[in-house]
Amino acid sequence: MLRKNWSILWFSRQRLGTGNFRFPDPSSNFQISILLLFWLTFSACGYRFAESGDFPFQIRRICIPPLENRSTETGADAIFANHLISEFSRNSDLLLTNRDEADAVLSGKIRSVSVSTISRKGSHTSLERQIRITVDVELIASDEETLWSARGISEREAYAVESDKAATEHNRRQALLVVSERIAEIVYERLTNNF
């Protein structure tokens, strides 16, 4: 009988926290309080996701043709058009269509694509180069009125120079894609934030 009572006593001690059972760590309550405080702070300060939907000038259908390429970079016109199309498709409710059915055309020019060395090893060996691209973009209504324009939008991206020329060319092409995507984001942001 003594043994039986002892096991009941042991079980009750487990439930009351005197055995292996542990009460929640008070520091976890502190951590939860801190997280709650951050959530309340940032939710009350107006931080929120950007809304998509309405586009300025009551435009519902847009055409984005390849940009006029005044640089020596072959294919840059199509790359930029594809990134612009992707950006506008992802962030707005606009219908992408051909020029004849569009309410407006987003057209532009690639003014320049330049490459410069930004890091060297010795006087003749480049370690890192930078590609810089400058574009002009305008939004033209179907009645040929210029609704919006931005000139001299410029971005740059560094890339590594490898001993293998094909690898260097691949790095340069990747940097071109990064710059093109950034410029597409800038164009969309400027166009929608100005109104």
Question: What is the per-residue pLDDT across 127-174, written as a single tens digit (0 to 9) for each?
Answer: 999 999 999 999 999 999 999 999 999 999 999 999 999 999 999 999
- Confidence grade of residue 56 (pLDDT, cut at 50, 70, 90): confident
- Confidence grade of residue 55 (pLDDT, cut at 50, 70, 90): confident
**Over 60: is that where the pLDDT of 185 sits?**
yes
**Over 70: is that where the pLDDT of 103 sits?**
yes
The CATH number of 56-193 is: 3.30.160.150
Average pLDDT estimate for 40-69: 70
**Over 90: is that where the pLDDT of 117 sits?**
yes
CB 192 within 8 A of CB 54: no
Query: Looking at residue 25, what is its pLDDT?
Result: 58
Phi, psi of 154 (to 5 degrees): -135, 140
Average pLDDT estimate for 89-99: 94
Q: Where are the alpha helices (DSSP H) in the chain?
A: 2-16, 26-44, 76-91, 165-193
Q: Where are the domains of the chain?
A: 2-44, 56-193
Could you tell me whether strands 104-121 and 125-141 are parallel, antiparallel, or unpaired per DSSP bridges? antiparallel
Exposed/middle/buried for 37, CB within 10 Å: 0-12, 13-18, 19+? Answer: exposed
